[in-house]
Amino acid sequence: MSKKFISTDLALSLPMFSQAIRAGNFIYTSGQIGIDVATGKLCNKSFQDEVAQCIKNIEIILNSAGFGLEDIIKNTVFITDMNLFNDLNKEYIKHFPKNPPTRSAVEVSKLAIGARVEIEAVAYKE
């Protein structure tokens, strides 16, 4: 099975991690927080805005490899406050309205740059 590093200038890129790696028919993304790459700032006017930006960043990375949100089979969500879980679900369902991927959600004490949510994805495409 071959391994290919996925990278796009349209999503956050740091030298200490890959945006995503394609292994065969799978893509594994690094966790994405709600940073708008154009401004370099966290999109956190509301928690739902932050979730939407996380998903948008994942979509940008997947699109750069010819994949889309519909190809995601598993998401892992890291959230700093489970009291925001319902708000997470309200935004999440907008992006995955039919046949949503499997998902885990874990409360963590802290995320980078004060983010309240981070999402990583595994996608598969024949």
CATH of the domain at 55: 3.30.1330.40
Q: What pLDDT band is residue 1 in, cutting at 50, 70 and 90?
A: confident
pLDDT > 80? residue 17: no
pTM > 0.85: yes or no: yes
Q: Distance between CA atoms of 69 and 56, rounded to whole angstroms?
A: 9
Question: Which pLDDT belongs to residue 44?
Answer: 84
Structural domain range at position 111 = 3-124
Contacts of 108 (CB under 8 A, 6+ apart): 78, 79, 80
Question: Which pLDDT belongs to residue 79?
Answer: 98
Q: What digits encode the pLDDT tens for the residues 36-88?
A: 988 889 998 899 999 999 999 999 999 999 999 999 999 999 999 999 999 99
Q: What share of the chain is helix, strand, coil (3-state, %, to 5)?
A: 30, 30, 40
Question: Which pLDDT belongs to residue 5?
Answer: 87
Question: Which pLDDT belongs to residue 15?
Answer: 62
Average pLDDT, the chain: 93
Total structural domains within the chain: 1
